[in-house]
Chains A and B, each alone.
Chain A
Amino acid sequence: MSRFWPKSLGAQLALLVALALGVAQAVNFALLLQATHRQNFVATATLAIARLGETVQRTRTGQTTPAMLRGSIATTASPLKPPMEMRADIAARAREMLEEVGIRVNRLEAAIVPASAFQVQVDNAGRLLRRAAVLRREVIVVTAEIGPRQWVTTAAPLPSLNPGVFGALIFQTMVLYGFVLLTVLWVGGKLARPLRELRLAAERFDRRQPLEPVAEQGPEDTRRLIAAFNAMRTRIVAMLDEKDRMLGAIGHDLRTPLASLRVRTELVEDEGERARMAATIDDMNRTLDDILSLARLGRPSEAEQRVDLPALVDNLVAEFEDLGADVALEDGSRLAVPMRPNLIKRAVRNLVENAVKYGGQARLRVRSEGGAALLEVDDDGPGIPEAEIARMFEPFTRLDGSRSRDTGGAGLGLALARAIVDAHGGQLTLANRAEGGLRATVRLPLGG
């Protein structure tokens, strides 16, 4: 059922109106049918009664015999007997009508019978009945006892329904559908257009693009909805900007005391203590960098450009090699990917750092697959329990839960990497490798 239910506002409206109109027309048709039927019945009964009256009158005055009269027969007993459909109401009406013109009869009976059945019973039926039989109609039969063992019977066929009535009704329905549905579709479309634009604006909401307010159009309710949407969007942008400004300010304000602290560590005599202090400050600084990058994601200062991804990864690998880390990139062909290179570099650096930190080494691979660039970072570490993988992307989450400085980092790395990849329309996933260790996969769209 739901498969046939249209999804758009205009079509739903049109379908509902069509259904309602259909029901109304059906009722209309039933009423018309009933009225026509009733009218036919009364007219036919009156005709049969009139013929009976005439026949009775002529028979009594000896002008003629029933057999000579069109559609009338004379019998010694009533031809009407069950299972014929006896109609006392017609009989009563006949008696009334006959008495009105001063004709009195003894008994009066009436029935509606199929013309064929009546013909079989009374084989000297008139031509009219014969024709009625051919037409398979029903006939109203009235019979009156005008003397002992003397019955006079007349009949009149019920007309079949005029097919023209149906035709007219169908035509009327079609015209109605045409007018009403076209109007409804048009109105529905008019209603739906501003709503569609609203939906598109909501879907395309990206605060890195300049905001065009959605045009306020359509009926008053829709206009108000659009105005409210525009206002809400402005508030959201303001809030996000405020967040970025705050993070930026926090970052910058922390840099200065950190720099001061870093200079002062040189005053510490103990060599080991001095190195540890310097390392702590470097750590804090890296976290600060991550926070600032996260804040700047919404308002990147860097333009997007097509960059050779393997070359970018190769530079990172060289940096890690210079620090003595076991990091290697498999040879691959060149692959241009649209990106903001400094952000992507940060994301990949975070992944490689994690691999080295927890897995002792990192193996990187770049390839293209189905319109996307795939970068895989493998390590030989213990991996992550499947149930924990989703949680790893939350900021400030680390598997050991300790957040101790000796394994480094505040747990922002993966969250930032994923945010950066997301901002590029890509996906970052983690999975345990069958042969042991963890694999981080970055999928970036190759663009048009």
Chain B
Amino acid sequence: MDDKPHLLLVDDERSIREPLAAYLQRNAFRVTQAGDAAQARERLHGYAIDLVILDVMMPGEDGLSLCRHIRETSDLPVILLTAMAEETDRIVGLEMGADDYVVKPFSPRELVARIKVVLRRMGRGGGVRQRAPETGSYAFSGWVLKAGERALIDPDGVSVPLSTGEFNLMLAFATHPHQVLSRDQLLDLAYGREAHAFDRAIDNHISRLRRKVEADPKNPALIKTVWGGGYTLASDVTRL
């Protein structure tokens, strides 16, 4: 009974909170509900919570503020429920220390999958939270990779949009310059163990990434292929 993960579900909307709690309970979670931030703080003290699911938009103290409070006082993982898909909300949420976020209306199945991923990550780290998401900037060969905004800026100041996979790869390279990274390492660094990514997907993302950052994608100068080994970023990197 007690091996069920204990979730704290904070949402002011009863019409979402109650059916969601019911659904989560059916999916082998123990769920405690809170209708506002004050109630949530109370529950956090009273129970051994494993993970908090937090609505961003709440009357009174909002979810972001509560999220920051949780982050300051504990290592509890937080998943945000947000009504807006705006990029800025996502960045703010992650900067407040949230581990993941889901946009309303969301599929409950997807939420369960995300909860499991976050819990597994916690478990793998021996109960210690992984570092808060990277928000620094890296400069290499005139390019700047801004981790917080997930943006890549070219030497002329032009923003080059990257998909999540490409960005994660680029960040992996930027944090390991001149190192040969095997496909396995890249999978681990860029997607995490739980992702269902294949070697082919890595090659696909690398070739897309090269199209975007290399002057001549057929003859790459920045992201080089190491025969039999993997890939390497052939540039010095400065942390900004």
Query: Are A263 and B20 also in contact (CB < 8 A) when A255-B83, A256-B104, A257-B15 are?
Result: yes
State A262–B83 Cα separation when bound (angstroms): 13
Contact, CB under 8 Å: B19 / A308? no
Which of chain B's residues have a CB closer than 8 A to the CB of A289? 85
Selected from B20, B22, B88, B212, the residue in CB contact (under 8 A) with A308 is B212
Query: Are A285 and B105 also in contact (CB < 8 A) when A260-B13, A308-B154, A318-B208 are?
Result: yes
Answer whether residue B160 sits at the interface, using C-beta atoms and an 8 A cutoff: yes
Residue total for B at the interface (Cβ-Cβ under 8 A): 32
Which of chain A's residues have a CB closer than 8 A to the CB of B212? 308, 310-311, 314, 334
Query: Are A307 and B161 also in contact (CB < 8 A) when A256-B104, A342-B87 are?
Result: yes
Contact, CB under 8 Å: A312 / B161? yes
State A267–B24 Cα separation when bound (angstroms): 11
Which of chain A's residues have a CB closer than 8 A to the CB of B163? 315, 318-319
Which of chain B's residues have a CB closer than 8 A to the CB of A256? 13, 15-16, 83, 104
A339 → chain B closest CB, angstroms: 9
Q: Mark A294-328, 1 if CB is under 8 A from B, else 0.
A: 00000001100111101110110011000000000
Answer whether residue B157 sits at the interface, using C-beta atoms and an 8 A cutoff: yes
- How many cross-chain pairs have Cβ atoms below 8 Å apart between A and B? 94
Contact, CB under 8 Å: A262 / B208? no
Residue total for A at the interface (Cβ-Cβ under 8 A): 36
State A252–B83 Cα separation when bound (angstroms): 7
Which of chain A's residues have a CB closer than 8 A to the CB of B85? 289
Query: Are A307 and B107 also in contact (CB < 8 A) when A263-B16, A314-B212 are?
Result: no
Answer whether residue A264 sits at the interface, using C-beta atoms and an 8 A cutoff: yes
Selected from B13, B19, B109, B160, the residue in CB contact (under 8 A) with A264 is B19
Which of chain B's residues have a CB closer than 8 A to the CB of A301? 86, 88
Query: Are A308 and B109 also in contact (CB < 8 A) when A256-B15, A267-B23 are?
Result: no
Q: Mark A12-41, 1 if CB is under 8 A from B, else 0.
A: 000000000000000000000000000000
Answer whether residue A341 sits at the interface, using C-beta atoms and an 8 A cutoff: yes
Q: Name the residue among B157, B158, B208 with the largest chain A CB count within 10 angstroms.
A: B158
State A442–B219 Cα separation when bound (angstroms): 31
